[in-house]
Structure 1
Amino acid sequence: MAKALLFLSVFSSVFAFAQEDLLKDIDTLTPNTETSQPAFKALQIVTGQSTKLPAKKEWYIIVAHRFGDVSTGFKNFFGLDNASTKLGVIYGLTDAVSVSLSRETFMKTFEGSVKYRLLKQNENFPVDIVGYNVMGINTDLDKDNYPYLKFSDRLAYLTQALISRRFNDKLSLQLTPSFVHKNLYEPATEDKNQFLAGLGGRYKISKRVSVNAEYFVNFDNHSFYKNPLSLGVDIETGGHVFQLLFSNSQVNSDIGYLTNASGNWGKGQIFFGFNLYRVF
C-alpha cells in the first residue's frame, strides 16, 4: 500500500508539472458566487456520477483506466500489468440535459445514459437535484455458456437521484440513492434488484486541486461483492479535469462499479486508476 501511495504521489507531481502552462487558463471563483457555481468540477466524484452536467453543445471525451490489484506486488508491477479501460463520449443537448455512450473492457459492456437537472441550488433552494438513468449491454455473454440466451438477458438498468450541496468554495457533499435491475444475474452472489445509497464529497485544497471520496452501501448485497469505497484527487487543467484514484472496484461502468466491487480495503486489495475528461 505504501509503495502504491508513493507511486501516486510521484505520478501526480509529474503530471501537475507538465500541465503548468495550461493551469493559467482555469477560471477561478469570483466573489459572492458560491451557490451559483457547480458543486463539483468533474462529471464524476470518483467513479460515481456528480451533479455537474455539460453545457449546451459541449462534447466530452472520456478515458478511464483501472489497473489491477496493487496487493499483487512487484510480480504484476502493483497492478499495472492488468487493466480495464473505458472510452466514451458525452454531449450536452441543453444546459440541463446530456446523453452519453461508453464501452468498457470488463464484460465488454456498452452503456448509454441520460443525465438531467431537476432543481438547481440557489438562494431559495438548498440543493442541486439531478436524475441519472443508464442502460447497460453485456456483449461478453456467450451462447455456448448460456444456450437459451436472449438479447434482453444482456441488459441491466440503473436509476439514480443525485442530490448535492455546495456549502462554500471548498466543500461539497452529495447523497445518491440508487436502484439497479439486472435481467441476468447469479443468485449465489447478487440479487436481481439492488438498492444502494451513496455518500460522496469534494474538498478543495488549492486553487486547482481537490480531494474526493465516495462510499456506497448495497442493501441487497451478498458477501461475495463489497460495498464500493473510493478515494481520489482532482487536478484541474486547461481544457480538462484529470482524476487520480484508488478504489476497491476495478470496474469502470456505472452499473458494474456499484454491484461488482471485489476488493477489500482491509487486505490491501485496491485498484489504482484515473479518469480523464477532455471538453470541446
Structure 2
Amino acid sequence: MKLLRIIPFLLIPLLGAAQDDLLGELEKQAVPPTVPVVATFKSTRIINGHSVETVKRNHMDFRISHRFGRLNSGAYELFGLDQATIRLGLEYGVTDNLMIGIGRSSEQKAYDFFGKYRVLRQTTGARTVPVSVTLFGSTVIRTVRSFIPGEQERSFQDKLSYTGQVLIARKFSERLSLQLTPTYLYRNQPELAADDQLLLAVGIGGRYKISKRVSLNGEYFWALRDKSSAALPYYNSLAVGFDIETGGHVFQLHFTNSLGMIEKQFIGETVGTWGKGDIHYGFNISRTFSLDKKSKRAATDW
C-alpha cells in the first residue's frame, strides 16, 4: 500500500516532461498565417503609368492630372507655367481586385476607358507569393479635329487605339517597391504615317519611401521600335517625382518629358527629350471617396 501511494509522486516528473515534449513538437509544427502584402505603391499610378494597385471595393477615386509646358520654353512662357494640359478621371472599385475607369484628356481631346484586374497578390507566411500581378486594358478615342486644310477627317475606327499591359511588382521592404510592365499598344491609325500600328514596350518603375508619408518615385518606358523608325521624332518616356500622402489625398509631384497622360501618348508619342531640356513639370491629385455606408472615410494603407 505504501508503494501504491508513492507511485503517483514518481509519475509527476515524467508527465511534466512528456507535456513539455508535446508542446515543443506542436510549436515546431505551427505554421505562420498567410499575410497579404499591402501598399506596394500608394496610388494606382506610379507617375504616368498604372501600378499594380486597384481602388478598393465601393470606393471612388477622382483624379486630376496636370502637365505644364516645357521648362526650356524660357521666361516669356514662365518656363512652361503659361501652358497646361489636363486629364480628369473617375475610377471605381467594383471589387477589391477589379476596378474600372474613364478619363478625358485635353491632349488630342481623347477619352480613355480602362479596366484593371489583380490576378495575384504578394503574400508572406505559410503560402508565399513573391510578386503581385495585375492585368490592365484600355481603349482610347481621339476626337480632336484635323487642323490641316483639306485633310479628310478620320473615321471612328481610325480614331481608336488599344493598350494591354501585365503589371508585375514586388515590395522588397517597407521602403522599396519595383514594377515591370510589358506593354502592347495598337493604333488603328498612328499620328504619323511612317509609324507602325503595333508598338511593344517595356516599362520599369519603382518607389522608395523617404518618410512615413513621402516617397521618391521613378518610371521609364522603353519603346521597342525597329531601325526604320529611327527618323520618327519620338523618345522614350522618363519621369521622376514624389508622392505625398495626406489622409484621403495623394499628391504626386514630378518632372517628365511626356506631355500626354495616357498610354497611347506617353509611351508611343513622347516628342521631348531630357537631354534638350524638354521637361514638363506636372502633378497628379487623387481623392478617394467611400461609397460604402459602413465606412465613414477611405482607408489609406501607407
Q: Same fold (TM over 0.5)?
A: yes
| Residue number in structure 2 paired with 1:4 | none
- CA distance in 2 between partners of 1:170 and 1:34 (Å): 18
1:262 to 267, 271, 287: 271
| Residue number in structure 2 paired with 1:177 | 182
| Residue number in structure 1 paired with 2:101 | 100
Deviates more, 1:166-175 or 1:252-261: 252-261
> Does the 8 A contact of 2:181 with 2:204 survive in 1?
yes
Gaps of 5+ in 1: 1-31
Summarize the Cα distance change of 1:148–1:203 in structure 2 as closer, same or farther, 3 Å threshold. Answer: closer
- CA distance in 1 between partners of 2:95 and 2:270 (Å): 33
1:133 to 131, 137, 149: 137
SS at 2:266 equivalent = helix
Amino acid at match of 1:39: T
> Does the 8 A contact of 2:203 with 2:219 survive in 1?
yes
Gaps of 5+ in 2: 1-32, 290-302
Displacement after TM superposition at 1:90 (Å): 0.1
Displacement after TM superposition at 1:33 (Å): 10
SS at 2:267 equivalent = helix
Normalising by structure 2, report the TM-score. 0.79
Aligned length: 249
1:278 to 269, 281, 287: 287
1:241 correspondence with 2:245: no
1:55 correspondence with 2:64: no
SS at 1:50 equivalent = coil
Summarize the Cα distance change of 1:97–1:267 in structure 2 as closer, same or farther, 3 Å threshold. Answer: same
Aligned residue runs from structure 1 range 96-245, under 5 A: 96-123=97-124, 124-142=128-146, 146-147=151-152, 149-220=154-225, 222=230, 223-245=232-254
- CA distance in 2 between partners of 1:168 and 1:89 (Å): 31
- CA distance in 2 between partners of 1:73 and 1:172 (Å): 36
SS at 1:77 equivalent = helix
> Does the 8 A contact of 2:139 with 2:163 survive in 1?
yes
SS at 2:74 equivalent = helix
> Does the 8 A contact of 2:169 with 2:178 survive in 1?
yes
Summarize the Cα distance change of 1:80–1:161 in structure 2 as closer, same or farther, 3 Å threshold. Answer: same
After the TM superposition, list the runs of 4 or more consecutive aligned residues in structure 1 that deviate by more than 3 angstroms: 32-35, 141-146, 186-189
> Does the 8 A contact of 1:177 with 1:198 survive in 2?
yes
- CA distance in 2 between partners of 1:33 and 1:268 (Å): 48
Normalising by structure 1, report the TM-score. 0.85
> Does the 8 A contact of 1:34 with 1:166 survive in 2?
no
> Does the 8 A contact of 1:162 with 1:176 survive in 2?
yes
- CA distance in 1 between partners of 2:34 and 2:48 (Å): 27
Amino acid at match of 2:221: F
> Does the 8 A contact of 2:36 with 2:121 survive in 1?
no
Amino acid at match of 1:173: L
Displacement after TM superposition at 1:210 (Å): 0.2
Displacement after TM superposition at 1:191 (Å): 1.5
- CA distance in 2 between partners of 1:33 and 1:258 (Å): 37
- CA distance in 2 between partners of 1:88 and 1:183 (Å): 24
- CA distance in 2 between partners of 1:87 and 1:142 (Å): 23
